[in-house]
Structure 1
Amino acid sequence: MWWPRAWRRSSRKTIFPDHRPESGGIGSMPPATAWGHLPGTQADPGIVRAIGWSGDMATDILLINPPYRMVPPFTYDRYEQIDPPRNLAILAAWLEASGVSVEILDAPVLEMSFDDIAQMIRQRRPRIIGITNRSTSTFPMVQRVASIAKAVSPEAPVIVGGTYVSWMPEEALSNCRDIDYLVIGEGDIQTPELVTRLLDGRSVHDIAGLAYRDPSSPQHIKRTPPARVVEDLDQIPFPAYHLVPIEKYVGRGERYILSLTRGCIFHCEYCTSSFERGRVRSHSVAKVMSELRWAYEKGFRYFYFFDDILTVDRERIVELCDAIIGSGLSFPWHCLTRSEYVDEALLHKMKAAGCDRIAYGVESASASSLASFRRRVKKTREAFALTRMAGIRSIAFAVFGFPGETFADQIATIRWLRELNPGMVRDFTYKPYPGTPQYANPEKFGIQISDRNFVRWSQQDEPVHRTEHLSEEEIIEVRVLCSYIFRSQGQLQGGVRYRRKKKVVMVRVENGALIYNHYKADEERRVDLYLNCLRVSALYFEVMLHCDGYHNVPAITEIIAKLFNLDRDGAYRKVRHVVEHASQHGMLEEMPALAPALPDGVDATPPDGTEAAVRLPAEDRILSAPGLG
């Protein structure tokens, strides 16, 4: 039905006629010049097949989920979660209901580089380009994609929606001249209206929930009044997952994310996870169960409810659990909640329905911080005990580096976590996120922001601030200590000064728990939290991490060659250098001769002419690094 309408829109002059690429980035260049910066003219056939696209017809809007990294390598290993892009799929469903042709490009699951994205934009010729901004730390990737979009298709308006741009629209537009419109908030209502008006060449300046540059004065940014939200969440259409390669997520064993509610009843001043505070809106249980059944039939076997507080409405969560139990489906799922919203009977009901993990925000043991978070110590202690008794694994979220806290407060938090005895601890670095009072007025809270490169603003990354009581170094130290304590089951000992050692210290952990920044690749990434604390280079870290009892020198060489874009000889020399150094210091040991076989295709023969300077482990022996000291 939309073909005549799409044909009518084909005249590019009718689409926002006063739109021009602004200065800054490749987007300011003439199209022919800009294309010279984007190698390749044909989209990767493998990617096209994976998406299921056919033909060369221009689409109305291309929705893009950017890569997780700024530079290569763009491969995504098993430990990296790649959830189906739910928000984009919901927006796509709204747009399709409005008669708009939509395509989704989920770069992470397709392992796409920025060059790949440029080629796909060139091939699909979208009239409008939409980009999702998952978090503050992903905004640099959004900027990169917006710049590419303007270089390849300078007349296509670029729309961005998401977390950072919703809280700081003026700052976002000032920092990225390649973005034309920002959708502020949830976007369900204003996005279809914005897109259809742009396609028809009509004015968009009276649409609520937008930010854009004044066409008559590009330096002046206009922001319209807040948009309405969807009150009845059952009116939200089913996500348009037919536009993404759903089999790829299933094949990776990814979780399926969904929600029972939107909004949060609390007003935590450090949090920006919810655009609407003070109230919660809910889906019906029937609607949620319909989606659960669909996802299960597609092959998903693990589910995550990403509500801020899933159990805030006790009657509804009990109804959901009863529906899951009565459905005959059996699958594990996990959720987030607060300690004051669980009780013994509810936890046993959730366990019977398949809940295997619950994450609680412990945050801190500081009295002042607990007061601002409205956390009650007694309820927290009870919740962890009851969760354990119900047979559900509890996860404690702890955040280090809050303003006003001292180093002693950080140690008290670790002691408090030990007392709670959770099944797992997830430690994070406090970030004064855009949209919070601490970002707007850091001096008032005793904060000095030291790094405004948003690539580093993930809570898993190094601190980007110091406080009146804590240096960046001390925040790093306490996170490493927390990581060690709860991954080695170590104990805090009285009278011991816990400080980072000057020599190399590596803690062997399981499941890749030594995490480093996923958003930037090694060659352009500053040393992150764990590499900093270990005092080793990224390459040294990767080599030692793969001395895990499953790899030998040739296998590690293959991995290093791919990760660091080296030829095999160069990678081999670097691996042998690290192995030699580690062997000299007694850091490595050979596993028994009955070690696992080498991966298929791995050549165990070292390059000719390479000689070991010291007695080294046999080339084909599996290596293990039980610890460094």
Structure 2
Amino acid sequence: MQVYLVQPPYMGIKSDVQPPLGLLLLGAILEAEGHTPHVVDLNLFVKAGDFKPDRSFRTQFLRKLPRRSAQIDVIGITTWSYNFGITMEFVEEVRRKHPRVPIVLGGPHVTFVDQQVLEQFPTVDYVLRDEGDRTFPQLLRALEHPNPAEKLALIPGLTWRRDGAVVRNASGGVLEDLDALPYPAYHLVEPRDYLECNRVLPLEAGRGCPYNCNFCSTTNMFQRKYRVKSAARLVDEIEWAIRAVGSNRFELLHDNLVAKKSYVLELCEEIRRRNLDVDWSCTSRTDNLTEDLAEAMFLAGCTSIFFGIESLSEERQKWTGKKLKPPKVREAIELTARQHITPSTGIIIGFPEETDEELNETILTAARWAAHPRIKGDISTASLRFYPGADLFGRKDELRYDPRASADVNPIPGHVLKEEWRGLVELFPLDSIHTGPEETERTLLRRNVLRTLFGVCPASFYALLRRGEQTPREVLDAIQRAGSFDPLNSDRVQRNNEILLAFGELVADAPLEVRELLSCELPFWRSEPVVASLDHLEHVIIPKYFEHESLLAYACGDREEPPERSETLSILAVRRGPEAVVWFTEQPEELWAQFQAQFVSDPQGTARWLDGLSTAR
């Protein structure tokens, strides 16, 4: 059968575009069954960056499929909560163009709203719940059978229609032997298209988290069963991917890989035994990590560990069911950094009943992790959402449609849910939210502000909190008052500019030490912080008053006495495009003249050199 496997767009940022690993795995399984799979990744439209928030994307997407229905036997589409509206618009367009081709939905979202999907959308023929590695091939065999209904009734996890009525087959068990899975069928896509966006390849290490956080849906998706590929099998796949795809950087996918220490130690030993030159990252709870384990992971090539922190409040930890102990969380972040591994942490903005003190403590601690040169943490922010399959989804009656709800996760900026679907909050929960309009807007702005400050100027943000004697709540409120921020504005560059300009105005009244840190991190903040021409170089020269290492130590709290003075240095910042490169120099004018002359004689070479420096920075 000619099977088209479709990945709807999931994020509007080029660097987030990664190979659709689940579909590549399914493609390999289907090939072994004698079918001809085709992978259609609509995220590559995102890479081109030419989407509009109108409905024109529907026909753009459709062009990726054959024009004639006779060339398609089945269309399978993976689903996620945050792009389900766009997914269903694509389904509508496919059904209009190919009225008799079976359409199958699978993935985390429809696993928990399968019956509602078939009741509301006659455009969908089948929903495969849970893990589809075994059941999708069974569905294809059933569709080829002279009496399909007889075979369809036997497929575990299938929701379908018989004589117009929705039938929900019993669920099956999870796949226990992950070593039996084939390698992903990377020949079904062009790997170069992805490596140009992001050289980190996703690679499935296993499935299933044994814990039960109330906001997480994958716990129930994988039935809380911790499963992994054997260490030897996983490292075999790493070696194969290096040869076949051309990258040695991997994200080992598992909701909580480090939950089983003995397995991770075995994996690290296997990587080192084969003397592989690889970089890899994974996910862990903070209370699963120990110093000796982190050391072994670093020696085996681990460069980053993601920890879902959510909050540094013990009350919020109890509320989520995660139950981490804040002092132990801090210890885990410190020990990760001591082992030269980047701690990447996620926090949630907008907990019900969260006090200002709790919010301030979480943000202040996260800002320190991002700012401290010894830690250099990556901080991501999310708003609290109700996902189908999560325990919190039991409160779905609190949800109401709000176009702002999906503004910061929308893969097509500016897109809004179709009007006739806005009452279906159970099917479109991320286009709905449990908070009122003012609180929703405030939470969205806080998330965007924190994401920008943590990513662009963490040292000056933390210094403003510690040395400028302002609380995180006060800083966030001041930035909100400073501009007319439109949460539905699809122009991320404009939004970031507004945030950084407002932050710069706050820092302008702060102590000199804080102002100098901002000059180092964001030297062009007074003009257009994240907008610049690609046709010529821009520069700015700023006096430097302090020795930089002692300034950072003072800002981060490692030094109580004021930083050492610098009498002869200046800050020279040069940029072509949004990224600036900064030097501390005694001769800024002479150095700038050299850059100008070099750019005139070799503009492309100079541009590449500056781009490389800004990336390294």
- TM-score, normalising length from structure 2? 0.68
* Alignment-mate amino acid for residue 391 of structure 1: H
Q: Does 1:147 align with 2:92?
A: yes
What is the distance in 2 between the residues matched to 1:115 and 1:481? 35
Q: Does 1:301 align with 2:248?
A: yes
Q: Tell me the SS of whatever aligns to 1:439.
A: helix
* Alignment-mate amino acid for residue 208 of structure 1: P
Q: Tell me the SS of whatever aligns to 1:103.
A: strand
Change beyond 3 A, Cα 1:243–1:390:
same
1:95 pairs, out of 12, 30, 37, with 30
Conserved 8 A contact 1:132-1:160: yes
1:224 Cα offset (Å): 1.4
2:111 pairs, out of 129, 150, 166, with 166
Deviations 1:63-93 (A, max 9, x none): 1112347xxxxxx87x432221111112122
Q: Does 1:471 align with 2:425?
A: no
What is the distance in 2 between the residues matched to 1:407 and 1:476? 17
Q: Does 1:208 align with 2:156?
A: yes
What is the distance in 1 between the residues matched to 2:6 and 2:405? 20
Change beyond 3 A, Cα 1:270–1:115:
same
Q: Does 1:547 align with 2:531?
A: yes
1:147 Cα offset (Å): 1.7
Q: Tell me the SS of whatever aligns to 1:295.
A: helix
Matching of residues 79-478 of structure 1 within 5 Å: 79-109=14-44, 114-119=58-63, 120-123=65-68, 125-133=71-79, 135-201=80-146, 202-203=148-149, 204-212=152-160, 214-217=161-164, 220-274=165-219, 275-298=221-244, 299-371=246-318, 372-418=321-367, 422=375, 423-442=377-396, 449-451=400-402, 455-456=406-407, 458=409, 465=433, 467=435, 471-478=439-446
Conserved 8 A contact 2:174-2:222: no
Deviations 1:557-612 (A, max 9, x none): xxxxxxxxxxxxxxxxxxxxxxxxxxxxxxxxxx967558599999xxxxxxxxxx
Q: Tell me the SS of whatever aligns to 2:309.
A: strand
* Alignment-mate amino acid for residue 318 of structure 1: L
Q: Tell me the SS of whatever aligns to 1:378.
A: helix
1:434 Cα offset (Å): 2.3
What is the distance in 1 between the residues matched to 2:130 and 2:361? 37
1:162 Cα offset (Å): 0.9
What is the distance in 1 between the residues matched to 2:252 and 2:601? 37
Change beyond 3 A, Cα 1:451–1:316:
same
What is the distance in 2 between the residues matched to 1:237 and 1:141? 30
Conserved 8 A contact 1:332-1:356: yes
Change beyond 3 A, Cα 1:247–1:229:
same
Greater fraction of residues in helix: 2
Q: Tell me the SS of whatever aligns to 2:306.
A: strand
What is the distance in 1 between the residues matched to 2:537 and 2:112? 49
Structure 1 gaps, min length 5: 1-58, 70-75, 507-515, 555-590, 603-621, 623-629
1:269 Cα offset (Å): 1.2
Conserved 8 A contact 1:81-1:254: no
Conserved 8 A contact 1:129-1:149: no
* Alignment-mate amino acid for residue 293 of structure 1: E
What is the distance in 2 between the residues matched to 1:484 and 1:470? 21
* Alignment-mate amino acid for residue 170 of structure 1: Q
* Alignment-mate amino acid for residue 118 of structure 1: L
What is the distance in 2 between the residues matched to 1:439 and 1:383? 30
Deviations 1:178-232 (A, max 9, x none): 11111101111211111111133422133210122x3423xx4332111222111
Deviations 1:459-489 (A, max 9, x none): 9999953549981233235335534653422
- TM-score, normalising length from structure 1? 0.67
Aligned length: 477
Conserved 8 A contact 1:400-1:479: yes
* Alignment-mate amino acid for residue 240 of structure 2: W
Q: Tell me the SS of whatever aligns to 1:194.
A: helix
Change beyond 3 A, Cα 1:484–1:132:
closer
Conserved 8 A contact 2:127-2:158: yes
What is the match of residue 9 of structure 2? 67
What is the distance in 1 between the residues matched to 2:31 and 2:75? 15
Conserved 8 A contact 1:265-1:280: yes
Q: Tell me the SS of whatever aligns to 2:15.
A: coil
Conserved 8 A contact 1:189-1:227: no
Conserved 8 A contact 2:403-2:431: no
Conserved 8 A contact 2:209-2:225: yes
1:309 Cα offset (Å): 1.1
What is the distance in 1 between the residues matched to 2:131 and 2:404? 26
Conserved 8 A contact 2:15-2:198: no
Structure 2 gaps, min length 5: 49-56, 414-429, 503-524, 539-590, 605-609, 611-617
What is the distance in 2 between the residues matched to 1:164 and 1:221? 18
Conserved 8 A contact 1:61-1:128: yes
What is the distance in 2 between the residues matched to 1:521 and 1:121? 31
What is the distance in 2 between the residues matched to 1:377 and 1:342? 14
Change beyond 3 A, Cα 1:470–1:345:
farther
Q: Tell me the SS of whatever aligns to 1:230.
A: coil
What is the distance in 2 between the residues matched to 1:468 and 1:405? 16
What is the distance in 2 between the residues matched to 1:153 and 1:549? 45
Change beyond 3 A, Cα 1:114–1:470:
closer
Q: Tell me the SS of whatever aligns to 1:187.
A: coil
1:246 Cα offset (Å): 2.5
Conserved 8 A contact 1:504-1:535: no
